[in-house]
């Protein structure tokens, strides 16, 4: 709580602009969100694939060239070197040629602050198109941060494997199924990847809540604004949204002027929820992030931690705002 104290081996870079004047950001502030796109193709020195084959364009392929390898456990992956200008959320896409004989259980890994996150892709379909792999937190730097694995049968819990089963099933359409020999038998292909700074169209409430959850259990400190010093309510919301390039001031009263007003009965996960705990004639004193079912996650003096609570149990509900 805080009282208001003052009222394709080729790199393509897309130019940046400020997203001011939208419903999300007041005109006088603007968004600290710089658009960025990089394409890394397999044809230059930003790509590395030891013992992978190479080929040019064929009758059934889309794209001038690509690299390929037979599935093999433990062999070197194909790696794309990507320059990340700033630690933030990025959406990763991959492209491969069109051929139904390619691998149905290829895996693409993205380097995050918590290590490589692997996602399965079916390279038998959607050839010649950019296919979204996922949205990931990526750290600033110039590294081989996107990889294509030759291991198509790995029992990897980060790759959707059900830990209760021993036959390496994967998640498909919310169901578990076992990889067949047809899935894993074709060539694994590395052609090109594209990494884009994630924008509000890609950003979801789940992204916000995952980031908020990383603060669970951190100490509440009035005026604090870090994991080392602790956080108060508005710093918690500022840092959570700030992880995705969305600027909020460190004041619950000023944060209320961001986004769009939401009726109490329409609150949904990711919305900011505001309170006047000390009376309707006082300033807004508290803010948290709704998580659904009448609950919110907030840095608060009630528990002295970042924790989950019920909106109805906090004095002085004032309103809610939606940024996404």
pLDDT of residue 217: 94
Please, which residues have CB within 8 angstroms of residue 124's CB and are 6 or more apart in sequence? 99, 100, 101, 102, 103, 104, 186
pLDDT at 248: 84
Query: Pick the residue with more confidence: 142 or 4?
Result: 142
Res. 192 pLDDT band, cuts 50 70 90: very high
R_g (Cα) of the chain, nearest Å:
23
Neighbours of 52 (CB within 10 A): 23
Q: What are phi and psi of 265, to 5 degrees?
A: -75, -10
pLDDT of residue 56: 60
Q: Is the pLDDT of residue 28 over 60?
A: no
Per-residue pLDDT at 216: 94
Percent of the chain with pLDDT over 90: 49
Where exactly does CATH 3.90.1720.10 map onto the chain? 205-322
Q: Where do you find CATH 2.60.120.260 in the chain? A: 37-197
* CATH fold of 205-322: endopeptidase fold (from Nostoc punctiforme) (3.90.1720)
Beta bridge partners, 68, equal: 53, 189
- Write the pLDDT tens digit of every residue in 210-233: 899 999 999 999 999 988 899 999
One CATH from 3.90.400.10, 2.60.120.260, 1.10.260.40, 2.60.40.10 for 37-197: 2.60.120.260
Phi-psi region of 257 (alpha: psi -120 to 50; beta: other; left: phi over 0): alpha
pLDDT of res. 320: 97
Q: Where are the beta strands (DSSP E) in 21-112?
A: 37-41, 47-48, 53-56, 65-69, 78-84, 88-95, 106-112
| Predicted confidence band of residue 44 (pLDDT cuts 50, 70, 90) | confident
Q: Which helix (H) or strand (E) holds 236?
A: helix 233-242
pLDDT of residue 246: 76
Q: Say if CB 147 and CB 78 are below 8 A apart.
A: yes
- Express each pLDDT in 112-153 by its tens digit: 887 888 889 999 999 989 998 887 878 899 999 999 999 886
By percentage, how much of the chain surpasses pLDDT 70?
75
Higher-pLDDT residue of 5, 108 = 108
Instruction: Please tell me the distance from the alpha carbon of residue 270 to that of residue 257, in angstroms, as a whole number.
Output: 16
Average pLDDT over residues 56-66: 56
Listed range (3-17, 239-253, 308-322) with the worst mean pLDDT = 3-17
Q: How far apart are CA 93 and CA 7, in angstroms?
A: 44
Strands 78-84 and 65-69: unpaired
Q: Whole-structure pTM over 0.85, yes or no?
A: no
pLDDT tens profile 64-107 = 689 999 998 877 999 999 999 988 778 899 999 988 889 999 99
Least confident of 103-112, 241-250, 256-265, 273-282: 241-250
């Amino acid at each position: 709580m805080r009282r208001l104290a003052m009222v394709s081996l080729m790199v393509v870079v897309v130019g940046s602009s400020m997203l001011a004047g939208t419903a999300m950001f007041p005109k006088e502030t603007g968004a600290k969100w710089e658009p960025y796109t990089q394409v890394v193709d397999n044809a230059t020195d930003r790509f590395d694939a030891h013992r992978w084959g190479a080929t040019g364009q064929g009758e059934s392929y889309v794209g001038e060239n690509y690299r390929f390898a037979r599935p093999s456990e433990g062999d070197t992956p194909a790696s794309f070197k990507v320059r990340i200008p700033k630690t933030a959320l990025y959406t990763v896409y991959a492209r491969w040629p069109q051929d139904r004989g390619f691998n149905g259980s290829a895996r693409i890994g993205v380097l995050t602050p918590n290590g490589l996150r692997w996602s399965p892709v079916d390279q038998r379909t959607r050839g010649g198109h950019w296919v979204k792999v996922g949205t990931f937190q990526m750290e600033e730097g110039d590294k081989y941060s996107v990889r294509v694995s030759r291991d198509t049968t790995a029992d990897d819990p980060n790759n959707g494997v059900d830990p209760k089963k021993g036959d390496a099933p994967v998640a498909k359409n919310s169901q578990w199924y076992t990889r067949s020999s047809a899935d894993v038998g074709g060539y694994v292909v590395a052609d090109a990847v594209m990494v884009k700074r994630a924008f509000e169209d890609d950003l979801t409430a789940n992204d916000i809540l995952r980031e908020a959850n990383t603060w669970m259990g951190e100490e509440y400190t009035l005026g604090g604004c870090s994991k080392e010093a602790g956080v108060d309510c508005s710093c918690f919301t500022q840092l959570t949204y700030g992880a995705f390039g969305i600027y909020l001031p460190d004041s619950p009263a000023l944060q209320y002027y961001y986004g769009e007003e939401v009726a109490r009965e329409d609150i949904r996960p990711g919305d900011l929820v505001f309170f006047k705990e000390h009376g309707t004639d006082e300033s807004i004193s508290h803010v948290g992030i709704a998580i659904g079912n009448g609950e919110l996650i907030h840095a608060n003096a009630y528990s002295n931690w970042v924790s989950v609570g019920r909106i109805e149990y906090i004095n002085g509900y004032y309103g809610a705002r939606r940024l996404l």
